[in-house]
Amino acid sequence: MMTVLSKIRLFKIGLGFIFSCIFAYAANANTTQLKFDDMDIKAEHIAIFVDEDGDLSEAVANISAKTEGRLEVALKDAEFKGEFGKKLHLYGLAPFKSIIVVGAGEDTLSVRQLRDLGGYVAQASNDNHSLSVITEGLATKAEQSAAQIAMGYALGSYAFKKYKAKKVNTSKEQTRTVSFHSKTPEPAKALFENDLGHVVTGVKFARDMGTEPGKTIYPETYAQGVRKLFNGVANVKIEVMGLSQMKRNNMGALMGVGQGSIHDPRLIVVTYMGGERGVAPIALVGKGITFDTGGISLKPNSGQWAMKSDLSGAAAVAGTLYAVAKRGDKVNLVGVMAMAENMPSGDAIRPGDVLKTMSGKTIEVMSTDAEGRLVLSDAITYAQKEYDPRLLINIATLTGSAARAMGEDYGVVITRDWDLAQDMMRIGKLAGEDVWPLPLNKNHYKAIRSEIADIKSTAGNPGASIGAAVIGTFVDEDRKWVHLDIAGVDWLTKARPTTPKGHAGWGVRFLNAVVRDVQQAE
């Protein structure tokens, strides 16, 4: 059965005048539809996978037969060995106009690898014409492969073209179809429609928010974007707190960071109660600095523009809640996003100022550029007081120190519990977003003692652990707590199969997998 994915509409949700087009799947005049079919291949452009065992899979052998065996000859001539991720373009093998060949390696493929294969196809394909991707014969769970490859394709083909003047594609085709061909298209379609497609939308939301300039995304417009994203999603409540409510809650740190900007801060709380009433939720708390100039402790000029993505943590929280809520998981989940713009001005906080947090504890601000820990201190206190979560995870582009330690490969994970750290590493590996631990001990807490306040906000090296100690000061002692510092992974200077260059939307896949893991462990 050939069925057009109705859920494809989810790629096209607009976000009103400010956000127009960010959600269009191909983000230009053309739209891409993803389909799952078991039809005889009629497409002019196809993609195939060849593994390293030397024999062509049955599906690829059938394709080769259509070319009267010339595909097999061409692969031999090119000495194509099937090394994982190797790409080869073949043209003019009638009846096909072009064939993209991607190596599938020698191992049984993991979910992560299947997604990577889809990403390789996305990067190799010309987005002017329709394409059939032959997904058969790749993994033991065949009914999953097409869906996972499609997810990788959707993630790998992301592009942000909103500000390009030339919107119209050169091709006459207005709607382009990418079909994922397998013997069992129905379960693949169901998996994509009910689960993976929602994760893709969550990642795209996060990428859009991290790519969108600070001129258009500030706390209030970000809140509008979140409202639009969740419009009509069942069991979700959104609360956007402004200055007056922050004052009532004594959120002196969040208000302090935001006070130098003409755009007021916001605390956004999204709750999804899909689980049993009264069961404590998982809480995800995200840093949402819509632009980080450093404040009075102004950042140097070079690379400052990239600080438009300093809301990555908050964006990952929203994207994850969306995926979990759309999937309808039987779980209670809360997202708290601390939104502020860190600007220098006559009204801005100064180095040396002391801020009183919601918890009652005071922080001496050593550098106004260490603003993430300040906004998180209030958001974390709020999350614990209001929801008493069974697991508290905060996620933030917190320190250059984390980026220097891990590069673009691993997010930093810091916990007070080694088992939990190991769980996070295992989950990250499966989800395709890796994390690796750094320490947090008594010495880090000792280092942030202040002469005049309860703690000070910075204390030199080791920066990532010091940042975690500031945040840890606000986490209840027996609370299950995970700190994620994603300053290195949220922005890629070199494309990955499922993540183009630029803002990665890191954390949606990871946090989504954590939420699933917690449910599976029950």
Out of 177, 179, 401, 499, point to the residue binding ligand BES (CB under 6 A).
401
**Region of 36-44, 367-375, 425-433, 512-520 interacting with ligand BES (CB under 6 A):** 367-375
Q: Which of 207, 373, 416, 509 is catalytic?
A: 373
Task: Report the candidate in 324, 247, 254, 248 with the shortest Cα–Cα distance to residue 284.
Answer: 324
Q: Which of 161, 299, 390, 496 is catalytic?
A: 299
**Region of 84-92, 310-318, 347-355, 483-491 interacting with Zn ion (CB under 5 A):** 310-318
Please say which residue, 179 or 465, places its beta carbon nearer to ligand BES.
465
Please say which residue, 256 or 281, places its beta carbon nearer to Mn ion.
256
In this structure, what token pair is assigned to residue 398? 């917190």
Residues that bind Mn ion (CB under 5 A): 292, 369, 371
Please say which residue, 367 or 519, places its beta carbon nearer to ligand BES.
367
390 is catalytic: no
The contacts of residue 372 (CB under 8 Å, 6+ apart) are 287, 289, 310, 313, 396, 397, 398, 467
Determine how many CB atoms are found less than 10 A away from the CB of residue 168: 9
**Region of 74-82, 164-172, 370-378, 447-455 interacting with ligand BES (CB under 6 A):** 370-378
E-only strand ranges, 407-490: 411-415, 435-437, 455-456, 481-485
Please say which residue, 255 or 405, places its beta carbon nearer to ligand BES.
405
Backbone region of residue 328 per phi and psi (left: phi > 0; alpha: psi in -120 to 50; beta: other values): left
485 contacts Zn ion (rule: CB under 5 A): no
The contacts of residue 362 (CB under 8 Å, 6+ apart) are 354, 355, 356, 453, 454, 455
Give min distance, CB of 371 to ligand BES, in A.
5
372 contacts Zn ion (rule: CB under 5 A): yes
Three-state SS string over 330-385 comes to CCEEEEEEEEEEECCCCCCCCCCCEEECCCCCEEECCCCCCCHHHHHHHHHHHHHH
Binders of Zn ion in range 282-301 (CB under 5 A): 289, 292
Give min distance, CB of 218 to Zn ion, in A.
15
**Region of 8-16, 159-167, 302-310, 401-409 interacting with Zn ion (CB under 5 A):** 302-310
Distance CA 168, CA 382 (A): 47
Give min distance, CB of 59 to ligand BES, in A.
44
Distance CA 53, CA 333 (A): 45
Distance CA 171, CA 25 (A): 17
Please say which residue, 398 or 440, places its beta carbon nearer to ligand BES.
398
Please say which residue, 292 or 434, places its beta carbon nearer to Zn ion.
292
- Cβ proximity of 200 and 154 under 8 Å: yes
**What SS3 state is found at 270?**
strand
Give min distance, CB of 491 to ligand BES, in A.
7
Binders of Zn ion in range 503-522 (CB under 5 A): none
Out of 372, 428, 500, 507, point to the residue binding ligand BES (CB under 6 A).
372
Cα→Cα distances 157→91, 150, 399, 498, Å: 22, 10, 29, 8
Give min distance, CB of 370 to ligand BES, in A.
4
327 is catalytic: no
394 contacts ligand BES (rule: CB under 6 A): no
Task: Report the candidate in 127, 135, 8, 110 with the shortest Cα–Cα distance to residue 60.
Answer: 135
- The interface partner of residue 95, options being ligand BES, Zn ion, Mn ion, none and the CB cut-off 5 to 8 Å by kind, is none
- Cβ proximity of 138 and 50 under 8 Å: no
320 contacts ligand BES (rule: CB under 6 A): no
Please say which residue, 329 or 371, places its beta carbon nearer to Mn ion.
371
Give min distance, CB of 301 to ligand BES, in A.
14
**Region of 160-168, 392-400, 426-434, 443-451 interacting with ligand BES (CB under 6 A):** 392-400
Distance CA 378, CA 276 (A): 28
Please say which residue, 359 or 457, places its beta carbon nearer to ligand BES.
457
- The interface partner of residue 71, options being ligand BES, Mn ion, Zn ion, none and the CB cut-off 5 to 8 Å by kind, is none
Out of 225, 286, 463, 507, point to the residue binding ligand BES (CB under 6 A).
463
Distance CA 144, CA 196 (A): 11
Q: Considering Cα of 305, then 310, then 316, then 322, what sign does the dihedral take? A: negative
Out of 37, 208, 310, 423, point to the residue binding Zn ion (CB under 5 A).
310
- The interface partner of residue 123, options being Mn ion, Zn ion, ligand BES, none and the CB cut-off 5 to 8 Å by kind, is none
Q: Considering Cα of 35, then 39, then 41, then 43, what sign does the dihedral take? A: negative
Chain centre distance of CA 151: 13
Distance CA 305, CA 293 (A): 9
370 contacts ligand BES (rule: CB under 6 A): yes
Interacting residue ranges for ligand BES, rule: CB under 6 A = 292, 310, 367, 369-372, 397-401, 403, 458, 463, 487
As annotated, the active-site residues are 299, 373
Interacting residue ranges for Zn ion, rule: CB under 5 A = 289, 292, 310, 372
